[in-house]
Structures are given as structure tokens and as C-alpha cells.
Structure 1
């Protein structure tokens, strides 16, 4: 089946939906996701969104991001991130996101490697509240169509120009012809045994880029989060214990109740210290203690974490939380410029599937949603200004009908093989659900 749109967006996380909302309303836009709209890493984000407090905070925000990223960041991209942070937070507020406030003003918290409190939040469910608000706005737009349960298996192209995508929905192959394609298909956590990501997030966009000779970058830059809830036999993804718990004073302790690390160091440093402590004490986890805070405060500040831990038999107001590191985020991805353009004409990439260079070798806490917002908006603005001058190039559909199952399996195999090549010692951690 052939369908025609002005813009095809792959992924319904923050990057995909925010891009759609920033596109002109006279454009015909298709948003597709291979699972349900809410099954994205954006939805799972707990801690919040980093934002420059004011003009005086811009330089320190940039410096904190560069330091966490081991100075391997794209400095210009980091400056863009900081400069445009406030206007994107204000846009979310206009879309109805109710960030926590104190005496009417936005309330800011602190997380690892930030020198000041600069993170806005919706208790411990920021990603959920943001994606719900964006999806509500998407559903209002008559020019935006959403296909759930629709998996992109390849792109349509003529030479080095992208002109659509090939997707599967209910076993039927769709040839989606469009003037622009924006990949916002997420990261790679579903390829790992222990990850805080949804199992459906399996690096599809990266595999399609590799298959089509599109430039990728820093595929070995994979972030391990220090504090995932420890379970002997986890079923599916690991439950994340937000860095905000440590930002609010939570202490990491070993089995002897001794602190062994500064909890607000960058994530890679804290993760390494936890691994060392586990090996030293012959324990598969360490403890995260926040019990010294008032119980009423904890329940109000971290309602989602409180409820989920309680289901697992841990009352965070009384018990130390068992935690261990798990794969969390992907700093590498499809190489893009400051407007999210890839090396293929008319193809953009935003969010975790992309590599803007903002994060360098290690992402600063709460910069992920911000990056998704800033660069997807920039991509949308560029599309708005150039789409009237772009002619649609219809790629010829394959003569032999595609086998959807084979193509999806091939994409997964490509992704797994590539990451086995680039991450070496973590090979045993690959391939989960």
C-alpha cells in the first residue's frame, strides 16, 4: 500500500511528538511507533529537565555539561542547548505541563554533576507528564495522523535523498512517501539483559542508518545508570531509581552501612564505584538510603518510586533501597548537525537515536529530554522554511514484496552485531528480551 504525507516522523517520544507540534499546521504529518504511543523512554524519565536558571547560569550550565561529557562534546551544540533551554520549557508549560512550583515559582532540584539546582520536575514522573501533555496536543491537531503498532523496517531513497519509509502494520507493508523523514526511534536498551529501557527499544534507527550508509558516531558511548532497583530475577526492564533521590540527599552505602562515594559525581564515576564496591563486598547490589527524610516528604516528592518499590517489598521511608547499575542511555547515534540533519538529504534524526555531540562521552543528568526538545524544534523549523522548495522523489517500491518478519529480524541482527563490535567487554550484556 502506498500512502503520501509531507513529513514522516518515526517515534512518539518527546522528540517525535514535539517535532510534529512545531511543524506548520498546513503540513500533512504522519507519526508512527512500533508499540503504543506511551511505550518510549521519554515516558519513563523520572528526574526532570535541566534548564539554565538565567543568563548568568548559561556558562556554568555549559561547563557542567562539558565536564560530565569529558570534554568530548560538540561545544556549539552544548551552547545551543543551554541558550534555548528556557524557551522550550516555557513552551511545555503552554502545552499544559504542570511543573512543581514553590510559592508560585518553578521549583528546581539538583542532580549529579550539576553545580546548582537547575532541574524542573513533575515530582518523579516528569517524562510521563510531558509525554501525556504532548500527546494530548498531538491528538488535537487535525494535520497529524498517528499509527501505533507500526514498525519502520527501512527508508525509501533515491541516491542520497530520503523520500519516505517502508513500514509494517498488522502484517501489511506500507510504502510511506514523504518530502522529509525524521527519525526519533529511540536508543538501544532492548538489546541488553539489564536496562532501564523498554524492551521494544532495539536500535532500529541505528540499524537502518548502518544499512543505508548514513553516518553514525560514537556507538561505544553507552551510559550505565548507577541506581536501578536490584532484583534477583528481573522480568523485563529494570526499574530506575531517579538520580533526584541522590540529589535530595540520598546516600549510597555498602552492606556495612558505610558510604563509599560522593553520590553527586557524574554517572559513570558513581557506577564504577558501585561495581568496585559490589566486587569488594561480594554483594550483587549496594544500598541507597533516604530514610532519614520525613516519610510524608518522600511520599509526596517521589510518589512513583515509593509505590513501585512498595510493590517490590521495599518501603523507601523505612528501608534502604537495593540498587545496582544498569544500561540506561545511548550518547552515540546517527550523526547530525545543529538542525538535526543527517548525512542523507531530507532525513533528520532527533532524540536518543541521534548524536548531536551534546553529551560527549557521558550524559549530564536531565539533559536528555532537553536535547530532544531543543533539536527536534530546530529540525521542525528548518523543515517549515524549506519544505515548499522540496520536490517529492518517489522511490520505486521493491519488485518482490518484503517479508516483514525477515526485515525486522535483519535490523535487530545488524544492531546487535554492530554493538558487539564496538563495546567489546560488554558482549555478555547484549541481547535480552
Structure 2
């Protein structure tokens, strides 16, 4: 089988790459599970944006500070300056970010952000964005889409990628010849006992790249999210309690119901403090109190979290919930340049499987959706330019 572009992964980066490629190209998109089972669908808090030029320096500094100043500063500049155009695109595709009574965007704030700059849709922002991108891709006549189809390896001709070997849903294996391959295979959470990620996300793209001596970067930079709902069932995917909950006023308490930390610390620092407190208390979790959030704000902003906690037996309006850190995000991955190209010709990587250095050692909250979209678009534009 032949195609112009083979895209592996149906999260927001893979879908947005499709939407930014010329419609005269034949595109094949495969995904390991079903189209909705990407971590992009799980993103709760929101998506950062440069809401006005005066916030640029602060946004830039917050991103670098969270990343321990190990960030690629050019990547950070590109991400921030590209954000308004990405927002315009998403609105064009029907994404409904929360607005006030005047029709203006409402912005929330999360840990390590100096200002409110995060767009959101309730507490299911990732689902809102990715579902609309998926709907747009499904309407394209030049795109063939396949669920439950796994990339086993890439095909190479010297230093040039020329396709991939896939396993269809029925178990058959087949070589796919492609002029370009875009890896959008997601993170590594499936390799962890406790993770907010889907279990099938096991770092496939990184492993395939490693086999072919494609350059990798910062493989030890793994983010642990400080607040997931504690559960005795270790087989369950950890349910994220969004950072924006703390941004809107939620508090953390030890076993004696004493506040022990600044809730808006960067994720890695807050995680360390929670682990210290758990060890000190001899407990498996600490408490998070959402009752400090104004009642209407809690209902309107976090309905999904309220519902999930209720199903788990917790009434967030009348009691604290137990929370524990869990693996959440991978800052390392396949090393790419500012247009998402890997060290192999005709092979690109976007989203969580890629590492352009934008996040440094630790990702700032709500930069993941933005980064995935910005650099997926740049990959698509470079491929389109090369084919002209």
C-alpha cells in the first residue's frame, strides 16, 4: 500500500497536522486504539495563549522557570507567538472556549503562572479541542483513517524514512510506502503502574526511533502530576484532579487537616512536598478541599471532576477528597528541530513523543496542548513546502 503521508496517532497533534497539509495529498492516519483514546481527550485544565502582547515576557519567564531554565528558548518564543493563530484556527473548527456575558474569552490560572492566561471549556478542554479536530479530519476525502492499527517499525532507505510496517486490527502485517511519516504516538504512561495516561501509550515512537539510532533527548525528564484521585484499584488509570482546581482556590491538607504547602508551586516542586508530607504522616495520600472554590464556579468550571468524584463516593461540596501524585507527562522524546523534523530525513515527530526542548525539565501547566498544535502545524507546513 502507498500513501503520500503516513501519520501515526490521532491526538490533537496528529489531527492538526492533517488539517494543515494540502488536501491534494493522500494521507493515511492510523491509531493504536480507537480515535477517542488519546491523552489529548483527557486534558482537563486548558490551553495557554498569549492573550495580549503585554503578557509575553511573563508567559516566557513562567515557562522557563517551570522548566528549570533548561528550555530551548527559541521553541518557547515560537510557541507563545504562534498561540493567537492557533486559537483562531480552533474557533474556526468550532471549539467553544468559555466566554463571559460580553462574548469575551474567560481565562483561568494554574500553578506557576503569574497571570490568568489559560483558555478552557469546563474541565474537558482537551476533549472539546480534539473532538472538533477529529470531526474536521473525518470530513476530508483525502484522508484514510484506521483504528486499532499499530506501527511496528519504520521503513528506511539509508538516512531517509520511506514508510512504515503496520499491524492491522485483524493481526495482519503490511508495509506502507510513504513519502513522509509523522509520529504522533503520544507518551509513555502505559509503562507506569500509576499514570493519568491511557494504558496503551507505551512510548512506541521513541522505541522505534531508538532502534534506528534516531537522536533522542531528555529521556529521564518525566513529569509526575501532584494531584490525582487516590484509588485502591491499581488497575485503573489515575484520574486527574486538574491544576486549575488549585488555581481557582482549592487547598491541600495533611492528615490533621492542616495546610502544608503553597498549592501553586510548579508541578515537580509540589509533588516533592506532597511526597514528603505523605511520608511524614505515614499515609498513602493527602487531602484536597474544593469547598474553598465559589459554589457556582465549582459547578460551572469542573462538572466532570464533580461527577467522577461522586462516582468514586466523594461529595466535593461537603468533604475533602484523597489525592496522590501519578505519572502524567513526558518532556523528553525524539529530538526534533523547530519544524518538528527528526534526525532522519522525511521523518517528523509531534506532540508528546517529540522533544523540541520547549518544556525544559518540567512542563508548565496547560502548555502541552498549545505546544502540540503549534509544532504539528509547523511540521505540516514544512512538508507542504518541500513538496511544492
Range class of TM-score, shorter chain? over 0.9
**Partners of 1:145 and 1:321 in 2: how far apart?**
44
1:252 aligns with 2:274: no
1:346 aligns with 2:346: yes
Q: Which residue of 2 aligns with 1:415?
A: none
Q: Which residue of 2 aligns with 1:365?
A: 365
1:38 aligns with 2:36: yes
Aligned partner of residue 181 in structure 1, secondary structure: strand
Q: Which residue of 2 aligns with 1:150?
A: 149
C-alpha distance after superposition, 1:264-305 (max 9, x if no partner): 110000000000000000110001111133444312210110
Aligned partner of residue 262 in structure 2, secondary structure: coil
1:53 Cα shift? 1.4
Q: Which residue of 1 aligns with 2:9?
A: 11
2:184–2:351 CA contact under 8 A, matched in 1? yes
Q: Which residue of 1 aligns with 2:307?
A: 307
**Partners of 1:329 and 1:160 in 2: how far apart?**
30
Q: Which residue of 2 aligns with 1:426?
A: none
Aligned partner of residue 5 in structure 1, secondary structure: strand
**Partners of 1:354 and 1:233 in 2: how far apart?**
31
**Partners of 2:25 and 2:230 in 1: how far apart?**
47
1:217–1:335 CA contact under 8 A, matched in 2? yes
**Partners of 2:181 and 2:225 in 1: how far apart?**
31
Q: Which residue of 2 aligns with 1:138?
A: 137
1:64 aligns with 2:59: no
Q: Which residue of 2 aligns with 1:116?
A: 115
TM-score (norm 1): 0.88
2:193–2:234 CA contact under 8 A, matched in 1? no
1:179–1:387 CA contact under 8 A, matched in 2? no
1:383 aligns with 2:383: yes
1:217 aligns with 2:217: yes
Q: Which residue of 2 aligns with 1:403?
A: none
Gap runs ≥5 in structure 2: none
1:68–1:266 CA contact under 8 A, matched in 2? yes
Q: Which residue of 1 aligns with 2:229?
A: 229
Tell which deviates more after alignment, 252-261 or 220-229: 252-261
Pairs aligned (count): 386
Q: Which residue of 2 aligns with 1:159?
A: 158
**Partners of 1:180 and 1:53 in 2: how far apart?**
35
Tell which deviates more after alignment, 103-112 or 234-243: 234-243
C-alpha distance after superposition, 1:13-39 (max 9, x if no partner): 000000000000111111100100111
C-alpha distance after superposition, 1:239-260 (max 9, x if no partner): 0000010010001111111111
2:33–2:149 CA contact under 8 A, matched in 1? yes
Q: Which residue of 2 aligns with 1:413?
A: none
**Partners of 1:233 and 1:94 in 2: how far apart?**
41
Gap runs ≥5 in structure 1: 389-433
**Partners of 2:317 and 2:82 in 1: how far apart?**
38
1:101 aligns with 2:99: yes
1:55 Cα shift? 1.2
Q: Which residue of 1 aligns with 2:324?
A: 324
C-alpha distance after superposition, 1:133-192 (max 9, x if no partner): 001000111111111010000001101100101000111112111110000000100000
Aligned partner of residue 233 in structure 2, secondary structure: coil
Q: Which residue of 2 aligns with 1:395?
A: none
1:81 aligns with 2:79: yes
2:16–2:133 CA contact under 8 A, matched in 1? yes
1:199–1:236 CA contact under 8 A, matched in 2? no
Q: CA RMSD in A?
A: 0.8
C-alpha distance after superposition, 1:351-371 (max 9, x if no partner): 000001000000000000000
Aligned partner of residue 72 in structure 1, secondary structure: coil
**Partners of 1:52 and 1:64 in 2: how far apart?**
12
TM-score (norm 2): 0.98
**Partners of 1:318 and 1:350 in 2: how far apart?**
42
